Chains A and B, each alone.
Chain A
Amino acid sequence: DAGVTQSPTHLIKTRGQQVTLRCSPKSGHDTVSWYQQALGQGPQFIFQYYEEEERQRGNFPDRFSGHQFPNYSSELNVNALLLGDSALYLCASRPGLAGVGEQFFGPGTRLTVL
């Protein structure tokens, strides 16, 4: 049973560019969340998707947007990249929207903005 998968593993972009990160949830999971983890910090919640809709959003600007597909996979898009967007981007999944189970995290995408 594959866990949460993310692609790419690493990415280097320059300021002002746009980037798309991808996530496939664990089998049987339909809720996907995205987190940003700066070096030496705890992860920060970006948003959560369920049934192809953004259900909750953290304190991130509109440059951060997302999408969930009918197969439950998800994309995170970041426009007009800033140096401060350099971070590890983590995707997490779990079954259902209001469950009490744990969220499983993927390996992450390391984004470097030059």
Chain B
Amino acid sequence: TQLLEQSPQFLSIQEGENLTVYCNSSSVFSSLQWYRQEPGEGPVLLVTVVTGGEVKKLKRLTFQFGDARKDSSLHITAAQPGDTGLYLCAGAYYNQGGKLIFGQGTELSVKP
């Protein structure tokens, strides 16, 4: 059974601070996706990483994929109240038909 550990589970910070969310697995991902979810809505895809060591940037968000493709991180620079939400990492594994295994999520609150 593949397990995907995401940390921290909760994060409350002040506007302007930086933060990092981690996602780890004991198995190799074929790809990994990061989503953001707001209350009452479905997850919205932020980025997909596929290649070991890959780094992708989306404005103030930086996503890294570990060299061994077993871990990933999301770093937010100068967080803003609009960044508040639930951040989810989700991994796809080889020979699993594309189903995603999600982490527990990180509930981020950015206070003005």
| Chain A partners chain B | no
List the interface of chain A (C-beta within 8 A of B).
none
